Amino acid sequence: MDSQEPTENFQQLYNDIKKYVELQTDYIKVDFVEKLTILLSTLLIITLAIILAIAALFYLFFSLAYAIVPLVGSLAISFCIISGIYLLLILLLFIFRKNLIVNPLVRFLSKLFLTKTNI
């Protein structure tokens, strides 16, 4: 049999449980930091992509406005047509916001925060 006294066994058990809780707390902190880093880096990449896409669309539509001047006869009318295209894109984005924005965001966040990681 074990020659240790019961108080020593309980003390060792207490120390082991305390160490386990400390390790689990550290693991949760590291896991949170990892997921937060992934979330923020993804947000930064998407923000930069959106800014670049908006700039590209601006110049593309600006050149399109000048290109359709011979067809419509006036620069003002061609800019009105381009404004109408912008409004149509905004309307389509609003109509399909669930499929284009909400569902992918929910899938990404649920995959990021609700999947189990290996310990």
CA distance 90 to 111: 29
In a domain, residue 119? The reply is no
In a domain, residue 60? The reply is yes
Q: Terminus-to-terminus CA distance in the chain, angstroms? A: 34
Does the pTM of the predicted model rise above 0.75?
no
Express each pLDDT in 2-59 by its tens digit: 556 778 888 999 999 999 999 999 999 999 999 999 999 999 999 999 999 999 999 9
The number of distinct structural domains making up the chain is 1
pLDDT average, residue stretch 67-72: 94
Structure token digits, residue 35: 């997921």
Q: Which domain holds residue 110?
A: 6-114
